[in-house]
Amino acid sequence: MKNLALNKWINYTFKINNYIINKSSINLALSTFYKEKIINLAKKQVIKIIFKVRYTHGKIRSISFSTEIQKLDLKYLLDIFYNDWVDKSDEYNQDMWKNIIFTYKILSLETKINKIKLTNLKDKNSNKINKFKFYGINLPSTMDFTSWGKILVEEYRDNDMRVIISKPNSKTDYWIYVNDTYMCVDLRMNYGEKKIILSFKDTLNDKYNLNTFTRLIRNQEYKFVEGELKLKILKRKTNILGKISQNWFLSNKFITMDL
């Protein structure tokens, strides 16, 4: 395909006629998106895509984290996006929807991705994401930032994304800078000078499981598997042993022992 725009975020908008989102409407949106934007791409072309929805009053909410997938595997997106929608639909079931939006960018053919892992819907819904405390501060034990709270700001640049999320029952916000395999987070006060309370970095250990990752906070490293804390590593600085002062005079006052 000539003049292909690589690594550029693009929004594809699909109109919902009955204001309802279900598996059929997601399937129709994906099919239309494929026919209009994807069908002419190379078979092994890699696409990075995020599933979003727009209320009738105009506000947009992200439903999924970004997913990298080859054109050949786009059929799996229906299960992935529908599972994500089911996880969040309880809090939206009284709302009316205007659009399904796919924010996507086309990556180069050389982009390497892992094989898609589909989570069984029943198992996924029975998995409760734990929280853990760092010096009295509750933090989510997942990299799925769409579950962290209310999204206030979403901005996209060439290879990065910036998100601001309101922390529930708190006067703080998460300021998140998202890259392909990691994200840097500042927990800031949401008033005054936006003082930073805490900073940490999350790095994915399984590209298709946002609950398996490593979190680095100050000198402490936390390893999560399926949302459960499995290992904590405390990095301590040790004093290096100094050199023994040289004695310039020979002494014969010593004892030897044979064991």
Query: Which pLDDT score is estimated for 90?
Result: 56
Which pLDDT does position 114 carry in this prediction? 63
Torsion angle, alpha carbons of 83, 88, 89, 90, to 10: 120
Domain ranges of the chain: 10-108, 128-234
What tens digit of pLDDT does each residue of 108-119 get? 888 877 655 544
| pLDDT attached to residue 118 | 47
Residue where the block lists tokens 């590209």: 207
- Between 246 and 122, the more confident residue is 246
Which CATH superfamily, name and number, covers 10-108? DNA polymerase, Y-family, little finger domain (3.30.1490.100)
107: nearest Cα among 161, 157, 49: 49
Contact yes or no for 198/208 (Cβ under 8 A): no
Contact 188, 202 (CB under 8 A): no
Q: For tokens 């395999």, name the residue.
A: 181
Q: pLDDT tens digit string along 57-101? A: 888 888 888 888 888 888 889 888 988 887 776 556 556 789 999
Residue 29, C-beta contacts closer than 8 angstroms, at least 6 positions apart: 14, 100, 102
What pLDDT digit, counting tens, does each position of 174-211 carry? 999 998 889 999 999 988 778 999 999 999 998 778 88
Q: State how far the Cα of 183 lies from the Cα of 144, in Å rounded to an integer.
A: 11
pTM of the model: 0.53
Determine the pLDDT at residue 154. Answer: 87
Q: Give the tens place of pLDDT for each residue, 127-147.
A: 444 677 888 788 999 998 988
